[in-house]
Amino acid sequence: MSKCEICGKPTDNLFKCNICGRLVCSEDYNFSKGICAACEESLCQICGKNLSIGYCKICGRLVCEECSIRRGPELICKECAKKMNII
């Protein structure tokens, strides 16, 4: 029997996360997205597909590289950037 790589629970049913490749139990797996709970928590809140790289300075949402623009050390999501006419 293998162990879930998140909670450590021994189980016969492990599912592979499509993002990090971790093997996790059904409780730590999001079946509709095919990803583990750890990745789901750090997923971009704009596209919901990529891992986030930080928070938008304006709205505070987690954003990935594709959904944000960098202004010096700060990140701004594309939605906020659009509203503020930055892009």
- Is there a contact between 69 and 86 (Cβ–Cβ < 8 Å)? yes
Tell me the DSSP string of 35-67: EEHHHHHTB-TTTSSSBP-EEBTTT--EE-STT
- Rounded least distance, CB 74 to Zn ion, Å: 11
Which residue of 14, 15, 28, 75 would you call a contact of Zn ion, by CB under 5 A?
Answer: 28
Chosen residue from 47, 70, 84, 86 binding Zn ion by CB under 5 A: 47
- Binding of Zn ion at residue 25 (CB under 5 A)? yes
Q: Which tokens hold the place of 60?
A: 């505070």
Identify the helix (H) or strand (E) that includes residue 29: strand 29-30
Which residues in this chain contact Zn ion in the complex, by CB under 5 A?
4, 6-7, 17, 19-20, 22, 25, 28, 36, 39, 44, 46-47, 50, 56, 58-59, 64, 67, 77, 80
